[in-house]
């Protein structure tokens, strides 16, 4: 059974096409990372699947039905990108309040322990740091013993220790058979947690594969050199950009490109090789290979 599904989904905000023909499925027990740069459409896809927005066209399903229907939301846990906690309530009171919405919530002490929040139970949420609030918000997604959780950038604003603690809690949930969909800008975070990664860019699914396969796709280097004329035809260049006599080449195999430049006796100067940012790497996924 598919727990969450988007079929040919588009979503517009006015003239802005946030999602463009997206197909996506999550099966029970999967831990899927949605990876993409700012504005790619990750949150929009999550918001459609959890029923807080509706598609402009296409279809979304949660537990085989309409995500807006209460009966399809009972086994759903969510941490949206931004959460507001009632500032004057203590952490323990917020947990009690949220627990009251479920038939069989996790015991408070267990939730606090799992998420390392035991020391915060008597603290008013308004006095927590941004990272501490985030940890509480993520923990709340697990309170109703969900079958599937959607975590939109769960570790934004967390320090390294808190991030690792949260990763462990997410892994335990997954190891017990829970299903997780999380969004992130960081391949590192997805690598730490997910086996499957769906790369989203410009509202489209650019890749849906194992973490290893996607790491290969986005492992792109920028090779910059000063050269006056045109280059000979070289393999493996995914994009080329000229700035005066400076040429910037993106390639998946920088070593080979440099060897080829030497072999063809290209009279270059000022050679620089550096890893691209993830943003640049995503751009290359949307482009066809071009001649230099």
Ligand X SMILES: Nc1ncnc2c1ncn2[C@@H]1O[C@H](COP(=O)(O)OP(=O)(O)OP(=O)(O)O)[C@@H](O)[C@H]1O
Nearer to ligand X, 114 or 204 (CB): 204
Instruction: In whole angstroms, give the CA distance from residue 123 to residue 211.
Output: 39
Cβ 64 vs Cβ 2: under 8 Å: yes
Nearer to ligand X, 188 or 272 (CB): 188
Helix (H, G, I), strand (E, B) or coil at 24: strand
* Unique residue bearing structure tokens 């499957």: 196
Nearer to ligand X, 46 or 223 (CB): 46
State the nearest-atom distance from the C-beta of 291 to ligand X, in Å. 32
217-231 burial, b if ≥16 CB within 10 A, otherwise e?
A: bbebbbbbbebeeeb
- Give the DSSP letter of residue 69: S
State the nearest-atom distance from the C-beta of 96 to ligand X, in Å. 31
Strand (E) or helix (H) holding 205: strand 204-210
Nearer to ligand X, 16 or 269 (CB): 16
State the nearest-atom distance from the C-beta of 36 to ligand X, in Å. 5
Beta bridge partners of 204: 201
Instruction: In whole angstroms, give the CA distance from residue 232 to residue 223.
Output: 15
Which residues are within 8 A (CB) of 22 and not within 5 positions of it... i.e. 6 or more apart? Answer: 6, 8, 9, 10, 41, 45, 58, 200, 203, 204, 205
Nearer to ligand X, 167 or 186 (CB): 186
Instruction: In whole angstroms, give the CA distance from residue 292 to residue 282.
Output: 19
Which residues are within 8 A (CB) of 169 and not within 5 positions of it... i.e. 6 or more apart? Answer: 114, 115, 116, 138, 139, 142
State the nearest-atom distance from the C-beta of 1 to ligand X, in Å. 27
Chain contacts with ligand X (rule: CB under 6 A): 13, 16, 18, 36, 38-44, 81, 185
Nearer to ligand X, 23 or 172 (CB): 23
Nearer to ligand X, 36 or 154 (CB): 36
């Amino acid at each position: 059974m598919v727990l969450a599904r988007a079929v040919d989904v588009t979503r517009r905000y006015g003239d802005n096409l946030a999602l463009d023909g997206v197909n996506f499925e999550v099966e029970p027990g999967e831990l899927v990372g949605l990876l993409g740069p700012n504005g790619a459409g990750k949150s929009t896809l999550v918001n459609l699947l959890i029923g807080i927005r509706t598609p402009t066209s296409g279809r979304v399903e949660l537990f085989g039905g309409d995500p807006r229907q209460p009966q399809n939301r009972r086994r759903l846990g969510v941490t949206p990108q931004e959460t507001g906690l009632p500032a004057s309530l203590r952490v323990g009171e917020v947990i009690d309040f949220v627990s009251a919405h479920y038939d069989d919530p996790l015991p408070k002490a267990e939730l606090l322990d799992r998420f390392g929040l035991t020391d915060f139970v008597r603290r008013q949420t308004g006095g927590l740091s941004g990272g501490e609030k985030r940890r509480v918000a993520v923990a709340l997604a697990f309170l109703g013993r969900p079958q599937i959780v959607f975590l939109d950038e769960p570790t934004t604003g967390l320090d390294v220790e808190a991030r690792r603690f949260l990763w462990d809690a997410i892994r335990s949930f997954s190891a017990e058979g829970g299903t997780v969909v999380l969004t992130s800008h960081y391949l590192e975070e997805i690598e730490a947690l997910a086996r499957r990664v769906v790369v989203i860019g410009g509202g489209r699914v650019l890749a849906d594969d194992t973490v290893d396969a996607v790491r290969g796709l986005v492992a792109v280097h920028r090779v910059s050199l000063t050269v006056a004329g045109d280059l000979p035809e070289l393999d493996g260049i995914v994009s080329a950009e000229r700035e005066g006599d400076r040429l910037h080449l993106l390639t998946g195999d920088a070593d080979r490109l440099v060897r080829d430049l030497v072999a063809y006796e290209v009279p270059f100067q000022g050679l620089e090789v550096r890893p691209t940012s993830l943003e640049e790497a995503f751009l290359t996924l949307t482009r066809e290979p071009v001649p230099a």
